């Protein structure tokens, strides 16, 4: 049995058992949440601070955002970026903001991340938000432009997607899905039906790049940037729980002009709990069966406690 199977077995098996028993718990939240999602400000002391600063001022003026996510390249290749980032983001008026690492969130000379490695899953009104970070940017002064994650994060991601396979899933990363080192294995599991993603949000490309229906069944949503080309655009997610459904509205905004954009604009309704289609591929069946077997073994051995990220 592979290390990946062992790493995710407990959480995956618990989700499968609960779903089969009809007792899967849904966190629908207490009302609408508004998430500001932005990417690629490339903050650096001096002139390149203004892109993020302008956007934060506009978001604060709007006064509607509850939470925020930066989809990477918050910094610009130097640990000198840390102070202006924390200063500007410290002024953002939200309950909490999150970030993930992109390829420029690492110091050029040392290769070390400018902010700590961060990846996590969050329940948002019945939708699972999954955020992943690239673990390499600069190594021996060579840039890893594509997304790269090691075994520990991949085991965690695999477990998240198996566990929440019956829930709507939004995945947030810096690079688009096809640029990740783990994509061949992950993409095969998605195609086989072992897991699913509804919308994959990313930055990195510094332009709107939207594919409404990829070959893997999810929407790929690349957002524009806050960057040196005087692009001050990002999106807001309006997440509204409605009984056993959740409505998501995606609206884009230009922060330098302080106006909403007509496009891109989307509105979706998701079931908080989805019924699995009959018939799973061999990979999906093997994954679920292995998870159940390891769960039983773990209980006999006194239990396995997976790592929790806060």
56-81: pLDDT as tens digits: 999 999 999 999 999 999 999 999 99
Q: Per-residue pLDDT for 291 more than 60?
A: no
Report yes or no: 235 and 260 within 8 Å, Cβ to Cβ: no
pLDDT band at 46 (very low <50, low <70, confident <90, very high): confident
pLDDT value of position 305 = 29
Helix/strand/coil (H, E, C) string of 177-189? HHHCCCHHHHHHH
pLDDT value of position 58 = 98
Alpha-carbon distance of 70 to 101, in angstroms, equals 9
Q: Per-residue pLDDT for 307 more than 50?
A: no
pLDDT value of position 141 = 85
CB-based contacts of 11: which residues, under 8 Å, 6+ apart?
Answer: 159, 160, 162, 163, 306
pLDDT value of position 21 = 32
pLDDT value of position 284 = 55
Q: Per-residue pLDDT for 301 more than 50?
A: no
Of the listed ranges 9-13, 63-67, 214-218, 287-291, the one predicted with least confidence: 9-13
CA distances from 93 to 79, 85, 104, 298 (A): 25, 15, 25, 44
Give tens-digit pLDDT for 208-240. Answer: 999 999 999 999 999 999 999 999 999 999 999
What the block records as the tokens of 201 is 């949000």
Give tens-digit pLDDT for 159-194. Answer: 999 999 999 999 999 999 999 999 999 999 999 999
Q: Per-residue pLDDT for 11 more than 90?
A: no
Right CATH number for 26-290 from 3.60.21.10, 1.20.1090.10, 3.40.50.2300, 1.10.357.20? 3.60.21.10
pLDDT value of position 45 = 85
Give tens-digit pLDDT for 94-144. Answer: 999 999 999 999 999 999 999 999 999 999 999 999 999 999 999 888 899
What the block records as the tokens of 6 is 């062992």
Angle at which helices 3-21 and 282-301 cross, to 10°: 90
Mean pLDDT of the chain: 84
Q: Which residues of 70-93 are buried (b: 16+ CB within 10 A; e: fewer)?
A: bbbbbbbbbbebeebbeebbeebe
pLDDT value of position 156 = 98
pLDDT value of position 154 = 98
The percentage of the chain sitting over the pLDDT mark of 90, rounded to a whole number, equals 73
pLDDT band at 82 (very low <50, low <70, confident <90, very high): very high
Q: Per-residue pLDDT for 274 more than 80?
A: no
pTM of this prediction? Answer: 0.82
pLDDT value of position 287 = 52
């Amino acid at each position: 049995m592979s290390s990946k199977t062992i790493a995710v077995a407990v959480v995956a098996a618990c989700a499968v058992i609960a779903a089969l028993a009809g007792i899967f718990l849904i966190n629908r939240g207490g009302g609408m949440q508004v998430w500001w999602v932005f990417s690629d400000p490339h903050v650096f002391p001096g002139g390149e601070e203004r892109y993020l600063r302008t956007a934060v001022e506009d978001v604060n003026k709007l006064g509607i955002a509850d939470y925020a996510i930066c989809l990477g390249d918050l910094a610009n290749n130097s640990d000198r970026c840390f102070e202006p980032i924390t200063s500007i983001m410290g002024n953002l008026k939200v309950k909490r903001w999150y970030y993930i690492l992109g390829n420029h969130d690492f110091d050029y000379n040392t290769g070390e991340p400018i902010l700590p490695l961060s990846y996590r899953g969050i329940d948002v009104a019945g939708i699972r938000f999954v955020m992943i970070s690239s673990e390499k940017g600069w190594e021996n002064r060579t840039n890893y432009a594509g997304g790269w994650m090691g075994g520990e994060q991949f085991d965690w991601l695999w477990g998240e997607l198996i566990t929440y396979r019956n829930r709507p899933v939004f995945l947030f990363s810096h690079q688009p899905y096809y640029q990740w080192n783990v994509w061949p294995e992950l993409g095969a599991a998605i195609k086989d039906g072992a897991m699913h993603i509804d919308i994959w949000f990313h930055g990195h490309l510094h332009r709107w790049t939207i594919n409404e229906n990829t070959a893997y069944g999810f929407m790929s949503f690349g957002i524009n940037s806050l960057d040196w080309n005087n692009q001050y655009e990002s999106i807001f997610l309006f997440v509204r729980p409605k009984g056993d459904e959740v409505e998501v509205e995606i609206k884009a905004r230009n922060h330098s002009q302080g106006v909403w954009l007509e496009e891109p604009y989307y509105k979706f309704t998701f079931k908080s709990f989805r019924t699995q289609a009959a018939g799973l591929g061999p990979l999906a069946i093997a994954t679920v069966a292995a998870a159940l077997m390891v769960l039983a073994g773990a209980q006999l051995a006194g239990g396995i406690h997976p790592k929790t990220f806060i």
